[in-house]
Structure 1
């Protein structure tokens, strides 16, 4: 390295050391908002979880780990966690499989694919309240759309009550969530598929690869980062599921559709046990962070292998 180049490098290093210090002042507003609206509420959440705070009266008492022991002993935490994990798995599998299949179809040369793309994404534009109420009427036993359709086919549709059955309620709600959300996954997959170099596909065809081999050997490894993004987004949405269990079943029948977020809401605002709800929230916080970090680490390793 000659003297001139060495001086340029030194000058560049000096700029790197000096210039960012002037930018620290721009970080202060963002960090202030982050501390006030994120860090402080989390610390407050931990604080309330060891009290009997009811959300109204601030003359509360410290109860230690009583709230945590209560939610573990009565089985409500385990039940909500089980329902949430099942719901999340259904969302991840349904949204990604359906989204990828439709994206593959729409990425091919078919007529009217623009209209199909729009139609596939339209459900995602509606709010959860609208979608939840519409599908509640679809699943309604007797006069609902599903029951009426089964009657046309010669079945007794009036006896089918998917939302009122302990065994089917959670799965019925998951179907609604998938119907509403697969369009987002489809758009992301479609964007990823369109970035694949056509020369790689042509080279594979020249080598005699079938469509399935082209997908497995070429397309799938190239869109693996897109798969990671979609899976992480669906896992986060599944773990914080609240809208549809609240709108369509209100956590019922029984506790069959109680998710972590729903039971936090119910305990805090219906039962007015903010301390116990905070304990639920603390456990949920660690569960979500653990699952997300573990999954992200696993998917990153798979990306490297792919």
Structure 2
């Protein structure tokens, strides 16, 4: 009888590995095809405009005429010497700092207050979150009425108590308008921030709190030394979200004050919009955008390093 040719076990294993490897490569290539449309769209609508931004920043492009000239760094010098850049950065930083501190302190206080099991707590939590459901344009128009001098809500309440409501004009005051629109942004987003803190509080193990109470911690000490350190990830997320929201502030300066009075509410994003679409100086607007991009990247990088360090210290 003829002997059947047998494949050595080691050779069979190598063959099996080879086919598995090739199969996995084929699968990876197929999976890449599913991602390819998203990559193409991202490249067309984000990467390409981003690269063109740097190109236009050194030209006198007006947004329409394609016969533009290269002007070097003249756009950067112009926005710096005019004071628009420094004023916009100052307003944006003030807006962001107020948003981070005011929004997170208020949201954290609300989260502690609503982290209980009393009757009707679901209603109170829902009520606190309702402003986050409305669009910025709706919120802007509502608060424009609230702030309206003479006939607005606040002015009407002042008149009821015998105070002259016509004297109240926060959006028309150069020194107060920025604070007025910051209050609106805080009110709009406090519910969303509160939900993140509330979710963090509800993940804290009750045994940890009971152990702290047995060690003699008061309610204040429990919040300061136990709950807040355990909320470090939630604090990091909310602060980063608040900073991003502040640095890209455009909606409320545009809807409520149109950058005024004067230039008191001109933020970085609003100044770029105004320079590009109102004054039709796209070259300068592109230079402004490049500077804004660098400022935002530096602030975000510093914030991430700082918050990660603080989070490790709390651990």
Superposition deviation, residue 232 in structure 1: 0.4
Instruction: Give the unaligned 5+ runs of structure 2.
Output: 1-12
| The 10-residue stretch of structure 1 (150-159 or 255-264) with the greater mean CA deviation from structure 2 | 150-159
**TM-score between the two structures when normalised by the length of structure 1:** 0.92
The equivalent residue for 1:108 is: 116
C-alpha distance in 2 between matches for 1:128 and 1:28: 34
C-alpha distance in 2 between matches for 1:210 and 1:144: 45
C-alpha distance in 2 between matches for 1:153 and 1:205: 47
**What aligned pairs does 1:1-306 form with structure 2 within 5 A after superposition?**
20=28, 23-306=31-314
**TM-score between the two structures when normalised by the length of structure 2:** 0.90
Superposition deviation, residue 157 in structure 1: 1.9
SS in structure 2 opposite 1:163? helix
Instruction: Give the unaligned 5+ runs of structure 1.
Output: 1-6
C-alpha distance in 2 between matches for 1:53 and 1:113: 57
Q: Let me know the Cα RMSD of the aligned residues.
A: 1.9
| The 10-residue stretch of structure 1 (147-156 or 53-62) with the greater mean CA deviation from structure 2 | 147-156
Question: Any idea what the Cα deviations from partners look like across 1:80-130, whole Å, max 9, x if unmatched?
Answer: 010000001111111111111101111023321111111101111111111
C-alpha distance in 2 between matches for 1:224 and 1:248: 35
Superposition deviation, residue 24 in structure 1: 3.6
- How many residues matched? 297
SS in structure 2 opposite 1:251? coil
Poorly superposed stretches of 4+, deviation over 4 Å: 17-22
